[in-house]
Chain A
């Protein structure tokens, strides 16, 4: 077992060879714990609704938004259909431009490649650009185990790292904190801060973080990033960020190592025109992204001269093999689906036990990791469809959720009360005579309960498993006469 394999985070994600996408406990158990935190729910409600409203405004002002979504989906589907060819094209172009391209089958290999590259430079500290891929593979834990200090430079990632916490949102990893909590954290973890001089004003907090990070930007010899897009045609990597910290990391150090999922490819440079419109409006609710950095291998005398790209599979090839599930690989990590999800809004990201929370996490994590407690994730949705409407690359998340539920049921072995009930019900419902008889029996069977139901005609308590319903809602009783009995009496 390697160091990162033994690293369990306090919120239940565990780093394995597949990284931080494997939940340790079933979603309903984790969700119950998170729901009990009233402050968390208040923080999440405010934050998700703010971003949700902002996104809705800037999306509504684009007349061809639906055409852009369709184009985004089509480009990504083309990438998925031609992935091997495009990956080789990317490798050739990036190598030609002076980058070194590495391949990693899973999280463990990705961590090993990056750790070896950093070790070879002799550096003991790396500055990091916010990156889901490095969170996914558990790179920080691996670097720490090797005696290398990773410094997150995105403000929200820094907050999470200083707190010894795990991210709870794809775009806003510290969404579960409010500014008072962040001020307290900074005072505890940033040496030299003056408690009297620090307010919880966002500008003051950002200034404190800026001062904390500036020294590290200037001294760092190695930076680690992810990439939002990788252009196959040119070998170009693209990082889209809002704070300028990414630009510092991507230009100041001598060595730049980028960890990139193999599905991040775009065929041509021109395809960026679609995604640089879709991504900012969907993720931050901005019309245009503040800092968009593009680099192609090494530019002599300008920026990092030692440039590496680590292409990571980590379950993506398995996902690609599933005709319905593969659409999850279109995802550009905008997190619009999290911000509109009524389940995410109540429980937050930690309940999902993976670095990918929310609706996209519920379909991505089980596919990347293949099973375990993640099998409960596809059930973590009411199938309300808000995620599909918000998705800039038209991932039909409800369709994939239902598809994965079938896989879960199919993978279950041994006796199951639910399966027995579902089969019995289907057997009754596929035949009109059995069905009519069952309705009659149900109506008659509850007759003694009518007294208990009172004037309102509802019951306050039902036996297991329906006790889960009556724990917080009353249950209706069957009517005194079914519809078909009424029809028979009145019309036939």
Chain B
């Protein structure tokens, strides 16, 4: 199976270790991962801030970069949601592009979808002896319906102490440019999320989206205390022989 990694712009620049973790997990399971160098950004921030015209070249670039692969895997629920939920609407008026999106979108997977649904794996052989709580990020939860896939993967990790997050399904207040345009409301939502995370006594808060984790992690860091944000891919990649 030719699996292409869409690392996402945020991970490429700020959290390369998350992309490296995806590569490690898949290679450990015996798959070959390719990294199409033409990839840039899915265009989610532009679209959701109201810049549709500026989004369209990024849509075309994504389709050009990833056409021809059996599967595209991404450690970001919201970027997959952009491709599967928004792309088809955006390209509806362009027949040729719409056909290419229709072929690509169903083969674009969030990491847990690829592992659980396509590869049929829940135990990836990881070991992570720490207390962890999991925040299901909104687009993975409600647009992709990831359900308990990430949790099933995490429960199979050796040594992990996985604890429930109260109010887990409530948004952390990130929302892309919302965090800046409505910074006060965003901060109020974040304060409640951070308090819930801290209350679990976990050492790590895990999620499927690096942007949300940057938000929660930024709040936790400002609060002080020891809880660290971590992408769940890094937990799944941890502790096994390279």
Residues of A in contact with B (beta carbons under 8 Å apart): 27-28, 31-32, 35, 41, 342-343, 346-347, 379-386, 388-389, 399, 402, 405-410, 418-419, 422-423, 425-426, 429-432, 435-436, 439, 442-443, 456, 458, 460, 465-466, 468-469, 471-479, 481-487, 491
Contacts and interface: CB of A to CB of B under 8 A. Distances in A.
B16 A471 contact: no
From A384, A405, A406, residue with most partner B Cβ within 10 Å:
A384
A426 B139 contact: no
B8 to A, nearest CB: 9
Given A347-B185, A402-B48, A469 B16 contact: no
Interface in B112-139: 138-139
Contact of A384 (B61, B171, B177, B185): B171
A146 B39 CA distance: 66
Nearest to A440: B13
B173 A382 contact: yes
Given A409-B51, A439-B13, A28 B184 contact: yes
Interface string B67-95: 00000000000000000000001000000
A478 B184 contact: no
A473 B218 contact: yes
Given A347-B185, A432-B39, A379 B20 contact: no
A342 B179 CA distance: 13
B218 A469 contact: yes
B181 interface: yes
12 contacts: A28-B183, A35-B185, A381-B175, A382-B189, A383-B176, A405-B50, A406-B52, A432-B37, A472-B219, A479-B15, A481-B16, A482-B12
A324 to B, nearest CB: 9
B221 A483 contact: no
Contact of B139 (A385, A419, A432, A484): A385
Interface string B32-47: 0001011111010011
Interface residues of B, number: 66
B187 A473 contact: yes
Contacts of A491: 35
Contacts of A483: 7, 11-13, 16, 19-20
A477 B16 CA distance: 12
A369 B114 CA distance: 46
Contacts of B188: 35, 41, 346
B190 interface: yes
B58 interface: yes
B219 A31 contact: no
Q: Is the interface of B mostly helix, strand, loop or mixed?
A: helix
A432 B57 CA distance: 12
Given A439-B12, A486-B20, A382 B175 contact: yes
Contacts of A380: 182, 185
Contacts of B60: 430
Interface of B: 7, 9, 11-17, 19-20, 35, 37-41, 43, 46-52, 54-55, 57-58, 60-61, 89, 138-139, 141-143, 169-171, 173-191, 214-215, 217-219, 221-222
Given A432-B38, A432-B39, A476 B54 contact: no
B173 A471 contact: no
From A346, A419, A471, residue with most partner B Cβ within 10 Å:
A346
B46 A479 contact: no
B44 to A, nearest CB: 10
B182 A379 contact: yes
A474 B47 contact: no
B190 A31 contact: no
B178 A381 contact: yes
A346 B40 contact: no
Contacts of A422: 46, 49, 51, 54
Contacts of B179: 468-469
Contact of A382 (B9, B15, B47, B178): B178
Contacts of A458: 217-218, 221
B51 A28 contact: no
A418 B50 CA distance: 11
A374 to B, nearest CB: 15
B217 to A, nearest CB: 7
A425 B176 CA distance: 15
Given A426-B55, A479-B15, A465 B187 contact: no
A31 B185 contact: yes
Given A405-B50, A465-B180, A426 B138 contact: no
Contacts of B190: 472-473
A436 B178 CA distance: 27
Contacts of B218: 458, 469, 473-476
Contacts of B141: 385
Contact of A385 (B38, B58, B143, B183): B143
A482 B13 contact: yes
A418 to B, nearest CB: 8
Contacts of B217: 458, 474, 476
Contacts of B180: 465-466, 468-469
Contact of B138 (A385, A408, A475): A385
B185 A383 contact: no
Contacts of A466: 180
From A35, A343, A478, residue with most partner B Cβ within 10 Å:
A343
From B12, B55, B142, residue with most partner A Cβ within 10 Å:
B12
B142 A384 contact: yes
A35 B181 CA distance: 15
